[in-house]
């Protein structure tokens, strides 16, 4: 199992799959999964699912992993080829090693051990596109197709069992003024000054806190005035974007309403951004850019089953949570499906130059995922 996981992870890293160009890696995985005993299906957005049916009534468990990556940035900053996919000094190296091709490889190899066996329910591996650009949106097809009872997100957890994550909202602030020639600014109203006042109000807003997930976050990520560039023109509008990290129970409408209340008396408004993306398959997906937070109690059914399996395998390293957003925002946050996170590598290594994870982390995760799956599907025997 260990060598299979290493070989597969290396192969995946060697196939560039920046968001929007995942066709080659999906084709590779479609053949790999079929050869490993999965029945496969490519969904309209281009994601791939592989299913092993145990032939007995029981739950459906989905192991979710996205196969797209961010870009490599300035290649001259890398000390090895970004798509090396090699092993050096005990590390598997290359873009996507941590986020999250090693997690995908571990999921596939662990699930493949059930091929040809009789067990209750189904085990499915979902190889998801478009996550880096629009997390959760392509996973909607998986839940609509498979109706999973349980989901395991294989994003990096450093071997911990994650039971929640903060969500994310992209907030747009627009301020308004009146244009005029900049040689006579008193004839107009500068939208930038309204935006400055709006930012001050927003920065002073209190944010909620959660005992496990920590504090909510409101981070200003960009600002621009219109018209741009302002050639001797007082701007009539300004736009700012905030990255709002959310907590369980917070909604997009609720957040926008809170900010709008804080902006009372200013020529400005707040809204949730609306996003549109086109996948490599040519399908256009659109939705508000709001991705809910989620958390499950440590004594809920899935957490208990997963903890038991890891403890029996001697691999339990405690409970944790994600700091970043994952496809769990759809499964758990939108659909309420019991979801956990368990994957190789460390969160902090995602999107970095010289991205890599340890071979030991990969192989341990592979064994851990097999232990979790065994616990889930043995319990339902």
Q: Which of 99, 131, 132, 170 is catalytic?
A: 131
Q: Which of 68, 99, 155, 170 is catalytic?
A: 68
Cα(142)–Cα(126) distance, integer angstroms? 7
Contact status, residue 62 vs residue 154, Cβ threshold 8 Å? no
Q: For the chain, give the secondary structure using H, E and C.
A: CHHHHHHHHHHHHCCCCECCCCHHHHHHHHHHHHHCCCEEEECCCCCEEEEEECEEEEEEEEEEEECCECCCCCHHHCCCCCCCCCEECCEEECCCHHHHHHHHHHHHHHHHCCCCCCEEEEEEEEEECCCCCCCCCCHHHHHHHHCCCEEEECCCCCCCEEEEECEEEEEEEEEECECCECCCHHHCECHHHHHHHHHHHHHCCCCCEECCCEECEEEEEEEEEECCCCCCECCCEEEEEEEEEECCCCCHHHHHHHHHHHCCCCCEEEEECEEEEECCCCCEEEEECEECCEECCCCCHHHHHHHHHHHHCCCCCCEEEECCCCCHHHHHHHCCCEEEECCCCCHHHCCCCCCEEEHHHHHHHHHHHHHHHHHHHHHCC
Q: Classify 329 in phi/psi space as left (phi over 0), alpha (psi -120 to 50) or beta.
A: alpha
Active site residue 141: no
Active site residue 22: no
Q: Which residues pair with 225 in a beta bridge?
A: 238
Catalytic (active-site) positions: 68, 131
């Amino acid at each position: 199992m260990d060598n299979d996981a290493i070989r597969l992870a290396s192969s995946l890293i060697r196939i560039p799959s920046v968001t929007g160009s995942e066709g080659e890696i999906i084709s590779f995985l479609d053949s790999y999964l079929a050869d490993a005993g999965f029945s496969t299906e490519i969904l309209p957005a281009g994601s791939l699912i592989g299913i092993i049916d145990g032939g007995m009534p029981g739950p459906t468990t989905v192991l979710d992993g996205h196969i797209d990556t961010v870009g490599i940035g300035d290649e001259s900053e890398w000390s090895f080829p970004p798509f090396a996919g090699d092993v050096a000094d005990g590390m598997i190296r290359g873009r996507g090693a941590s986020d999250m091709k090693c997690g995908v490889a571990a999921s596939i190899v662990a699930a493949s051990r059930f091929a040809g066996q009789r067990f209750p329910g189904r085990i499915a591996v979902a190889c998801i596109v478009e996550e880096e650009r629009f997390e959760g949106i392509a996973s909607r097809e998986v839940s609509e197709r498979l109706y999973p009872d349980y989901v395991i997100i294989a994003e990096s957890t450093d071997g911990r069992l994650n039971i929640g994550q903060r969500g994310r909202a992209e907030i747009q602030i627009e301020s308004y003024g009146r244009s005029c020639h900049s040689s006579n600014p008193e004839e107009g109203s500068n939208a930038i000054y309204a935006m400055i006042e709006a930012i001050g109000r927003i920065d002073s807003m209190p944010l909620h806190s959660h005992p496990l997930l920590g504090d909510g976050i409101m981070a200003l990520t960009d600002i621009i005035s219109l018209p741009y560039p302002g050639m001797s023109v007082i701007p009539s509008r300004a736009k700012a974007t905030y990255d709002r990290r959310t907590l369980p129970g917070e909604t997009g409408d609720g957040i926008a309403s809170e900010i709008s209340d804080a902006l009372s008396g200013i020529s400005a408004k707040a809204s949730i951004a609306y996003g549109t993306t086109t996948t490599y398959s040519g399908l256009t997906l659109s939705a508000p850019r709001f991705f809910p937070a989620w958390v499950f109690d440590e004594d809920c059914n899935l957490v208990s089953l997963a903890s038991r399996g890891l403890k029996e395998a001697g691999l339990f390293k405690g409970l944790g949570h994600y700091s970043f957003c994952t496809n769990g925002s759809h499964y758990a946050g939108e659909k309420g499906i019991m979801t956990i996170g368990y994957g190789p590598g460390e969160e902090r290594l995602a999107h970095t130059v010289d991205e890599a994870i340890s071979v030991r982390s990969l192989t341990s995760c592979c064994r851990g995922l097999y232990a979790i799956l065994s616990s889930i599907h043995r319990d339902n025997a």
